Structure 1
Amino acid sequence: MAETKIPLKVVIDRQKKKVVFAEASSDFADILFSFLTLPMGTIVRRIANHSDPSHQKKPIQYFICESLCFQNFNYNTYLNTCSTVKCPVCPKLMRKAIDFDANGEGVFVVKTSSFVISDDLHVIPNNPTSTLGMLESCGINDFAALEENTMKLGSNEILHLLDSSFVSKTPLSDIFLKSTSKILLAHSSEDFVNFLFSLLTVPLGKLISLLTKDHGSLSIENIHHSVSELNVGEYLKSQLLKDMILHPKLLPNYLCSNHIFPLEENPKPTKFLKRTSSTSGGLYEYSLTLDSTHAYRNLIDQSPYLRLKGGFVRGPTNFMVTDELVVTPFIFDVLLHVSPQTESAS
């Protein structure tokens, strides 16, 4: 199946070899804002492995009974992520796959909205005033030096943009125009390692909201600030979705007991079965939705979930943590491989 690519109109200053701004639809704005909801572990994994197709994780697949069995007293239908278990009502396997309902209406942003995005990822509504303001802030006097191109962004370009937003002040230009005193290692208990591992479960938007004001700003923070400036109703669909981007909660069952940040955990979402008439005949088509207004039946999710108890590692155990945050079990023999010259220099 061919990958869907999102068009992005980019205005380039040929003389400075720099992206001045980009004009984007609500689809691209949704992608930028969704960065803030991703857990840090997901970001690290996707950036590290995006060039290797073998490491791409498939979306979770859900299954229901082929006979659409339901509880007699409330018509709830059973749901599972495993297709080899039997239906609780009949002897058939729960192997009828259903996908999330794709309504084509986007996620966070009103579908008809259009935006202007600066090179450092400030997102503002698209109107003549914002466009002229963007040109003025970039010191553009010679409009003849500007060039307009429409680019197509696939998953590789989007992951490159996510990567660049952490390290570059000009991530759009990086994509389209560019392709010591030191700690040797630290000896720590499982409590510190649990803290390090728990950072991977915290959504990016929550980490940004916890950052102090005295650090150097990152381009990814401009997306966060842009969302805080957009009006609900005019550009964003609801205050609930705005809060979901700016202050996202952890996934269910991922809150570590010894966390030190003000973190909250999302409850398990209520899922519903949606039924629509088939375009090819008289049969119905079924999909999974979180929108109760289109519910045909409630779904009882019986998928196996792991409840995090205490932390991620077994204790009591000691670990070594390097300056690059590589964590390994503490083994005294490993220290013998560290040269005295290196130790003294550190």
Structure 2
Amino acid sequence: MAESSGEAKVYLRLVIDEEKNKVVLAEAGKDFVDVLFSFLTLPMGTIARLFKKHNNKAHPPVSVGCFNNLYTSVVDIGVDNFQTEACKRMLLCPRSVSDVQCQRLKVNINPTEREKYFNCPLFSRCRLCSNFSTTRCQCGNMMKEEIRESQLKVEDSKQHGVFVSGGDSTTFIITDDLEVSVKSTGLVLERLKSLGCADVSKLGEKFVGIGPKEVLTLLQCVFSSNAPLTETFLNKGSALHGLTRSYEPLRPCMEKKDEAEPEKVSAINAVVRKQDGKILFVESGDDFVELLLSFLAVQLESVLEISGDSITFGCLANLCRSFKGFRVVEETKAAPADSKVGVLPCFYSFQVQLPGIITLEPPVYYRYMDSSGKNPYALTRDPNKITYYHNDKLVPVTLVDPKSDGNDHQTHCSGFLKKETKFTVSDDLFITPMSSCSTVCLLKKLQTNAEDVDVQEISISKAEVRMYACVVYPVI
């Protein structure tokens, strides 16, 4: 792989079984382990976007279950089907609650811009701001004027690390299936014996420098191989492929709509082939589609929690167990203590989302006079900040939900899609806005006659929402 001069790198020492051309162990410092653990903080939509960008003629596309199809659907769905322009942008580039920590990674494959803030010309009166310049203020003006935020002090990453603690001399042992442990002589001997590599005369060593391209290839190999270190550094990702592990999919009970059902969260019309009962596609409203789109915002670590024992995750499960054992960065204090599955950034609230997934409340900001920029004001999250001018004071400011179109003046909105919009969803989760000819076109594409199918209504309960997530997450 070509490497640009001067790019940041982390380093890895590989212990190799030269006869089998296989990585036995890897030794690394905390910089590489932090990069490895950062994979679990990536939203699934971000992973799909990175894979799409990284694919080339030398490497066939790596698919992550149906996420590639979901992500491509968002790309193709017109902006007019979303509540606001910002809604589509939020789904195409989903934020992670760990974005700030990941900016301290030595090699970051998903660098995100510092969040920007915008206000309207009547900011002194409206006291509203937004992260998107396309948001309309309650006064009717667009929020186009960028306003500076006073940055909070960030702790020294060299002392505290990103996801693991320890000094620069701390060394970790990583197995080929991504179990991570602090290095010790006893552990190394134990691993060598357990892998049948006690005869160290047959082992070789290799030192590798890893930049962004190598990290992206490693991430792809994590999803496509149970030996990602061997696949990445010895085979150069030559066997990259889509995820093909078979599993027995769960199906919801097909039954008539029951208005009295208290747990029902959505209802869809399924076009079912009479011959074998296979769902060819469904027609649904915006609520069911929002449930599917919410999967793009969920972090990989949460995927493992959601799916539980329903799917075998191979090396990802090993990585997740190690991550939980080593993580030293405190969970955000804004998250409730009983949140066991996952946390989404503020404003990532969907009409229907997975049980156990919570959305953070937006932080409280204050406005003060600022003479250092074009905008006469600046923002701070520090209520004790000393202002530049003695006669000035900190004024609370409301961060507007970018999903609000400005007419309802909401600061909290649930839902990305326009209400009452209808969609068709294929069995492999391609989503298309419904049109008068969409049913006919789909039947022709599937080479199916109208007399060979039935339409059945499916009511989806809260308990079944988690089941749908398990079906969408066939990771490895």
TM-score by length of 1: 0.71
- Root-mean-square deviation (Å): 4.3
Q: Match of 2:317, SS?
A: helix
Partner of 1:126: 183
**Among 3, 10, 19, the residue aligned to 1:6:** 10
Instruction: Give how far 1:263 is off.
Output: 1.1
Q: Distance in 1 between matches of 2:186 and 2:419?
A: 59
Aligned partner of residue 121 in structure 1, secondary structure = coil
Q: Which amino acid is the alignment partner of residue 230 of structure 2?
A: S
Is the Cα–Cα contact under 8 Å of residues 115 and 123 in structure 1 kept in the other structure?
yes
For the 8 Å contact 1:62–1:80, the answer to whether it is kept is no
Map of 1:250 onto structure 2 = 344
Which residue pairs with 1:315 in the alignment? 419
1:15-164 map, 5 Å: 15-50=19-54, 59-61=112-114, 94=147, 103-105=156-158, 106-112=161-167, 113-164=170-221
Higher mean alpha-carbon deviation, 260-269 vs 35-44, is at 260-269
- Secondary structure at the aligned position of 1:315 is classed as coil
Please say which of residues 27-36 and 116-125 is displaced more in the overlay: 27-36
Distance 1:208-1:127 versus aligned 2 partners, 3 A rule: same
Paired letter, 2:424? M
- Following TM superposition, by how much is the alpha carbon of 1:141 offset from its aligned partner in structure 2, in angstroms? 3.0
AA in 2 matched with 1:110: S
The reply to whether residue 338 of structure 1 matches residue 442 of structure 2 is no
Distance 1:255 1:130, change over 3 A: farther
- The corresponding residue for 1:199 is 295
Letter of the 1:237 partner, please give it.
V
State the partner residue of 1:281. Answer: none
Does the 8 A contact of 1:19 with 1:173 survive in 2?
yes
Alignment of 1:237-276 (within 5 A): 237=328, 240=331, 248-268=342-362
- Deviation, 1:101, is 5.3
How many residue pairs match? The answer is 300
Deviation for aligned residue 1:206:
1.5
- Which residue of the partner structure matches residue 167 of structure 1? 224
Tell me the amino acid that sits aligned with residue 328 of structure 2: K
Call closer, same or farther: CA 1:191–1:304 in 2, change over 3 Å.
closer
Shift of 1:251: 0.9
SS at the partner of 2:206?
Answer: strand
Distance 2:165 2:291 in 1: 38
1:116 and 1:289 map into 2 onto residues whose CA distance is 42
Structure 2: distance between partners of 1:125 and 1:270? 40
Q: Structure 2 counterpart of 1:47, which letter? A: F
Deviation of 1:239 after TM superposition, in Å, equals 5.2
Retained in 1: the 8 A contact 2:162–2:329? Answer: no
Distance 1:296 1:115 in 2: 44
Question: Matched residue of 1:59: which SS?
Answer: coil
**CA pair 220-142 structure 1, distance change in 2 beyond 3 A:** same
Measure how far apart 1:110 and its partner are.
1.1
Alignment partners' CA distance in 2, 1:142 and 1:342: 65
Does 2:284 align with 1:188? yes
Task: Spell out the pairing of 1:219-298 with structure 2 (5 A cutoff).
Answer: 219-230=315-326, 236-237=327-328, 240=331, 248-268=342-362
Cα deviation for residue 214 of structure 1 reads 4.3
Q: How many Å separate the matches in 2 of 1:296 and 1:29?
A: 40
Cα distance in 2, alignment partners of residues 107 and 164 from structure 1: 23
Partner SS, residue 27 of structure 2: strand
Q: CA deviation at 1:227?
A: 2.5
SS of residue paired to 2:13: strand
Match of 2:65 in 1: none
Q: Which is worse superposed, 303-312 or 155-164? A: 303-312
Q: 1:28 to 1:300 in 2, by over 3 A?
A: farther
Conserved 8 A contact 1:41-1:200: yes
Please give the TM-score of this superposition, normalised by the length of structure 2: 0.53
Identity %: 30
Shift of 1:222: 1.1
Secondary structure of residue in 2 paired with 1:19: strand
Q: Which amino acid aligns with 1:109?
A: V
Q: How far apart, CA to CA, are the structure 2 residues paired with 1:100 and 1:48?
A: 35
TM-fit CA distance, 1:237: 3.2
- Please say if residues 51 and 156 of structure 1, whose CA atoms lie closer than 8 Å, have aligned partners that are also in contact: no
- Once residues 145 and 300 of structure 1 are traced to their aligned partners in structure 2, the CA distance between those partners, rounded to angstroms, is 67
Distance 2:301 2:174 in 1: 19
Once the 2 structures are TM-superposed, how far is the Cα of residue 108 of structure 1 from its aligned partner?
1.8
Task: Mark the CA change 1:260 to 1:239 in structure 2 (over 3 Å): closer, same or farther.
Answer: closer
**Separation (CA, whole Å) in 1 of partners of 2:422 and 2:130:** 38
Aligned partner of residue 199 in structure 1, secondary structure: helix
- Residues 304 and 58 of structure 1: is their aligned pair in 2 closer, same or farther, counting only changes over 3 Å? farther
Query: Which SS does the other structure have where 2:445 is aligned?
Result: coil
Task: Write the letter of the residue equivalent to 2:32.
Answer: F
Work out the CA distance in 2 between the residues paired with 1:102 and 1:12: 38
For residues 299 and 42 of structure 1, the distance between their equivalents in structure 2, rounded to whole angstroms, comes to 36
SS in 2 for 1:249: strand
Distance 2:380 2:27 in 1: 31
